[in-house]
Amino acid sequence: MFTLPLGDHAQLRPLEPWRAQEFLAHIDRARPYVDPWIPWATFSTDLISATAVLQRYADKQAKDAARIYGIWLEGALVGGVMFTKFDATSGVCEIGCWLEADGEGRGLVTRACRALIDWAFKERGMSRVEWVVAAGNTRSIHVARRLGMTRDGVLRQSSVYRGKRHDSEIWSILSEEWGVPVSDVKAELDQLMHTFLGAFTNTGGSRPNVGVVRDVFIPHGMIIANVGDEPVIYDLDAFVEPREKILTAGTLTEFSEWEVAERTEIAGSIAQRFSEYRKSGFLDGEWFESSGRKTTQFVRTPAGWKMSSMAWNDV
């Protein structure tokens, strides 16, 4: 058995059938968080069914068709990652993840998924890694973005869960797009951008958290829209308040924005990021999709890295 350190006193290990009792206890804790999104969690309701779930993955691993791993934090199982499908012949596999509340906020799932993707591309020669997620599962979508994946499209009403049909988003990354693991500083900057963009998401009935913009910026941060004849300059309050209104009043619905490419330069205690992004949603009932570019400046503070300014231009 192997153990792969993930940092922060966390480890990635195979999740084998003999761990079924520990797995069941973990799923009972995680159920409120994963049950809406991962149907197999509903299959693990007692020791027999929990063992059966892990045994199915063990059988598939023996056929080189799937794999499942647990994430342990300070000795407790708090989540996991898996190859839900693994087809070495076609060079295509699919990964997924889950996490209970005690494991959140540390980047553990992202690091564990990077380890799986790295192995799939570098050791097994896979060409494509996929990520299939319910359209309303914003936390999982954010992970896909942090991994550098591209949203390929939406399969409308492609799955049924608890008697209701759900749209599924398909994300992917190709072997030629996969780079080396990011540094700790880069990871912190990635997380800031992820948090900023995620603050406006209201897909699948989720509630946006626009106020978090104040947390990722320094108090006197500046945001500039350079999309018209002349720049429009906002302080944080002027930027947050109108966007909070349209995202919660039904004016802008099913909205999300994500990076599709970025270049980050770090120079000591300052950094700069050039981003290309896409966004989509319903504005006054009309569907729209658009793209643009951002430039974001960061400074290191006693409380960690923060955004200091941002400017964007829709194209």
Mean pLDDT along residues 42-66: 92
131 backbone φψ class: left, alpha, beta (φ>0; ψ -120 to 50): beta
Q: What is the pLDDT of residues 257-291, one digit of tens each?
A: 999 889 998 888 899 999 999 999 999 999 999 99
Q: Which two tokens stand for residue 73?
A: 């934090």
Give the β-pairing of 128-134 and 92-99.
Answer: parallel
Check residue 39 and give its pLDDT: 67
Check residue 142 and give its pLDDT: 82
| pLDDT surpasses 90 at 12 | yes
Is residue 80 within 8 A of residue 98, CB to CB? The reply is yes
Q: What does pLDDT average to over the chain?
A: 89
Q: If pLDDT is split at 50, 70 and 90, which confidence band does 1 have?
A: low
Check residue 36 and give its pLDDT: 65
Q: Which two tokens stand for residue 199?
A: 């603050």
Which residue has better confidence, 232 or 43? 232
Is residue 291 within 8 A of residue 314, CB to CB? The reply is yes
Q: If pLDDT is split at 50, 70 and 90, which confidence band does 246 have?
A: very high
Which residue has better confidence, 272 or 165? 272
Q: Alpha-carbon distance 30 to 101, whole Å?
A: 7
| pLDDT surpasses 90 at 241 | yes
Give the β-pairing of 150-161 and 10-14.
Answer: unpaired
| Residue 290 bridge partners (DSSP) | 279
Residue 298: φ, ψ to 5°: -125, 150
- Supply the pTM of this predicted model: 0.59
Which residue has better confidence, 315 or 90? 90
* The residue type at 263: R
- Domains along the chain with CATH numbers: 4-177 (3.40.630.30), 185-314 (3.10.450.50)
| pLDDT surpasses 60 at 181 | no
HEC string of the chain? CCCEEEECCEEEEECCHHHHHHHHHHHHHHHHHHCCCCHHHHHCCCHHHHHHHHHHHHHHHHCCCCEEEEEEECCEEEEEEEEEEEECCCCEEEEEEEECHHHCCCCHHHHHHHHHHHHHHHCCCCCEEEEEEECCCHHHHHHHHHCCCEEEEEEEEEEEECCEEEEEEEEEEEHHHCCCCCCHHHHHHHHHHHHHHHCCCCHHHCCCCHHHHHHHEEEEEEEEECCCCCCEEECHHHHHHHHHHHHHCCCEEEEEEEEEEEEEEEECCEEEEEEEEEEEEEECCEEEEEEEEEEEEEEEECCEEEEEEEEEEEC
Q: What is the pLDDT of residues 72-125, one digit of tens each?
A: 999 999 999 999 999 999 999 999 999 888 888 788 898 999 999 999 999 999
| pLDDT surpasses 50 at 210 | yes
Burial-class residue 162 by CB neighbours within 10 Å (0-12, 13-18, 19+). exposed
Residue 217: φ, ψ to 5°: -100, 155
Cα 138 to the center of its chain, rounded Å: 8
